[in-house]
Structure 1
Amino acid sequence: MPKLLKGQQISNDHFQILDQNESEASLPEGNLLLHVSAIDAAIQANTDHNGQIGIWFDSADEPEMVADALNQFEVIAVNFPKFMDGRGYSIARLLRERFNYRGDVRAIGDVLVDQLYYLQRCGFSSFRLREDQNPDYAVEALTTFSTDYQTAADNLTPVYRLRHQL
C-alpha cells in the first residue's frame, strides 16, 4: 500500500485512484479518488458510496470548470505525471487562494522528496510518496528551511516582516 505523508505523520494511503475510464464504470468499495471529468458521478457517489470520495486533477485540467463543487470533497488530489511538470503547483495555489478550498490537497504521481517543502508552500497538505521514496527523508524535507523570504499559500510571514515585529 502506498505511503501518505500528512503533517509530520506517515501512514498508509487508503484511497484508490481510479483513472478516467474507471470513473465511468461502477465504483469499487472503499475510499476513492475519481478524475475530475467524472465530477457528476463523484457527487452522486458522495451520497451513495460507503467510503470517502475525492477527486483528482491531472496537470492539464482546469479547476475553474468545477469551482462550484470543490468544497463538497474532503480530498482533492493533483497528479504530477513527471517531476518536471510544475503545473500542479499552480492548481494547488488556485484551489487555496482563488477557490478558498480548505480540505486536503494531495500531491500524487511522480512526487519527489526534494519537492515536498515547495509543494507545501503552494498549498499541498498531504503527499502520496512513490515506492522508492524514503518516508523518514520525506518528513525531514518539510522542514528544509526555517524562514521564508516570500509569502505563499501557506500564509507564513516572510522574514523581511519579522524585523518590524520585534
Structure 2
Amino acid sequence: MPEIIKNGRVQSDDWQVLRLAEGEAAADAVLPAGHVIVPLATWQARRAELLPKAEAGTLGVWLAGDEDPAALAADLPALPVVAVDFPKFADGRGYSLATLLRTRLAYEGELRAIGDVLRDQFFFLLRCGFSVLQPREGKYTTAQLEAALASLRDFTNPYQGAVDRPEPLFRRQPRSPRQEDAAR
C-alpha cells in the first residue's frame, strides 16, 4: 500500500491508480476492486457506468499534463478525487492544472499529485492547491516522508500569493499611517 502525505501527516493509502497498458483501449480497461483513480480517457469512454462509483466515493479521475481540466467541469461535484500525473519531475504542467482546478473550476475535493512527485516540489505543490502528495511507491521511506513533512514548515510566511494564500505578504502585513505616508 503506498504512503501519501495528507492532512499534514504521512499515512497509508488504499487508492489505486489505473494506468493503461500500451495499446489498451480506454473503454476496455479492467478496473480493480476498491478505490481506483482512472485516466480521463477511461472516464470519458465509460462515464455512465463509472458515475455511480464516483458518487459512492470509490472512483476518481486522473489527468495527464496535456489534458484540459475543463473536460471534467460538469463532473467535478461527483468526483471525490482528482489526480494530476507528473510523468517526470521536469514536467511542470501539473502545477497549472491544479491551479485551474482550484481557482477557475472551483474544485473543492481531494486534489492529488501522482507520478514523479519529488520531495523538493512538495511545498510548491501544496501552494498550487494539491491536498495529497503521492510519490511513486518505494521512492521514499516512511522516515524520509516524515522528514519531508517537517521541512514543509521551513517557509512560514511566503511572499507571493498562490492558491493556498491568495494575498501576497505586503497585503497581509498591517501598515501604520506613517509607513503609508512614506510609501507615497
Instruction: Give the alignment's TM-score, normalised by structure 1.
Output: 0.89
> Aligned pair in 2 of structure 1 residues 22, 108: CA closer, same or farther (>3 Å)?
farther
Structure 1 residues 145 and 46: CA distance shift in structure 2, 3 A: same
Distance in 2, Cα, partners of 1:144 & 1:16: 31
Q: Point out where structure 2 has 5 or more consecutive residues left out of the alignment.
A: 177-184
Aligned with 2:113: secondary structure?
strand
Quick check: which has more Rg, 1 or 2?
A: 2
Percent identity of paired positions between Structure 1 and Structure 2: 37
Q: Cα RMSD (Å) of the superposition?
A: 2.1
Q: Tell me which of 7, 30, 33 is aligned to 2:34.
A: 30
- Pick the aligned partner of 1:132 from 115, 119, 139: 139
Alpha-carbon distance, 1:12 to partner: 1.2
Match of 2:109 among 89, 103, 109: 103
Separation in structure 2 between the aligned mates of residue 89 and residue 81 of structure 1, nearest angstrom: 13
Q: Residue 173 of structure 2 aligns with which residue? A: 163
The answer to whether the 8 A contact 2:53-2:59 is kept is no
- CA drift of 1:42 comes to 4.8
Q: Aligned in 2, Cα 1:48/1:136: closer, same or farther, shift over 3 Å?
A: closer
Aligned residues: 166
Q: Is the 8 A contact 1:42 1:55 kept in 2?
A: no
CA offsets 1:28-77 (integer angstroms, 9 cap, x no match): 21000000112242553241587610000011111122211122101000
Q: Give the partner amino acid of 1:149.
A: Y
Aligned residues of 1:7 and 1:125 also touching (Cα < 8 A): yes
Question: Alpha carbons of 1:102 and 1:47: their partners in 2 closer, same or farther (altered >3 Å)?
Answer: same
Aligned residue number for residue 47 of structure 1: 52
Instruction: Work out whether 1:145 is the aligned partner of 2:155.
Output: yes
